[in-house]
């Protein structure tokens, strides 16, 4: 995988993540999207929250779309996630969404918690 230089507030949704979101959404009501947020907690100080919601984006949401998958990220979370890549990984440890976040100075072993 090559390193891509992103602008400070740009977030990328990979093809693998889009495919997995679409697979999950195929079992949900039409209009459902994935909302990703950053919240306090986890073993490193902050953690990612993934929620499938049926709502329209707010004025300050970043809306990502790829191959029919839609992700919302609120502006407060975007401050912590600018330049990140949202991916889906299927390896020996298990399956999960993973965020490669250039703002994180430390993260936990499972990849869902980070520090800035």
pLDDT at 9 over 70: no
Which residue ranges make up each domain of the chain?
12-115
> Is the per-residue pLDDT at 5 higher than 70?
no
Residue 52 has pLDDT above 70, yes or no: yes
Beta strands in the chain (DSSP E): 12-13, 33-40, 46-53, 62-66, 69-73, 85-91, 94-100, 106-107, 113-115
b vs e for 27-58, b when ≥16 Cβ sit within 10 Å of the residue's Cβ? Answer: eeeeebbbbbbbeeebebbbbbebeeeeeeee
Per-residue pLDDT at 44: 65
Both tokens assigned to 38:
């950053």
- Which pLDDT band, with edges at 50, 70 and 90, does 10 fall under? confident
83 three-class SS: coil
Domain 12-115 has CATH 3.30.70.580: no
Q: What angle do CA 89, 68, 2 make, to 5 degrees?
A: 40
- Asked whether the beta carbons of 63 and 71 are under 8 A apart, the reply is yes
| pLDDT for res 116 | 57
13-23 residue pLDDT tens: 999 999 999 99
Q: What is the mean pLDDT of the chain?
A: 85
pTM above 0.95, yes or no: no
Query: Tens digits of per-residue pLDDT, 62-106?
Result: 999 999 999 999 999 999 898 999 999 988 777 888 898 888 776
Q: What are the residues facing 87 on neighbouring strands?
A: 98
């Amino acid at each position: 995988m090559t390193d891509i230089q992103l602008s400070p507030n740009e977030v990328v949704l990979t093809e693998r993540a889009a495919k997995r979101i679409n697979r999950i959404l195929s079992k949900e009501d039409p209009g459902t999207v994935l909302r990703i947020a950053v919240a306090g907690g986890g073993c490193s100080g902050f953690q990612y929250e993934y929620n499938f919601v049926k709502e329209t984006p707010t004025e300050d949401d970043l809306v990502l779309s790829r191959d029919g998958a839609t992700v919302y990220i609120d502006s407060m979370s975007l401050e912590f996630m600018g330049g990140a890549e949202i991916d889906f990984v299927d390896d020996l440890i298990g399956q999960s969404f993973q965020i490669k976040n250039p703002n994180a100075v430390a993260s936990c072993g499972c990849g869902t918690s980070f520090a800035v």
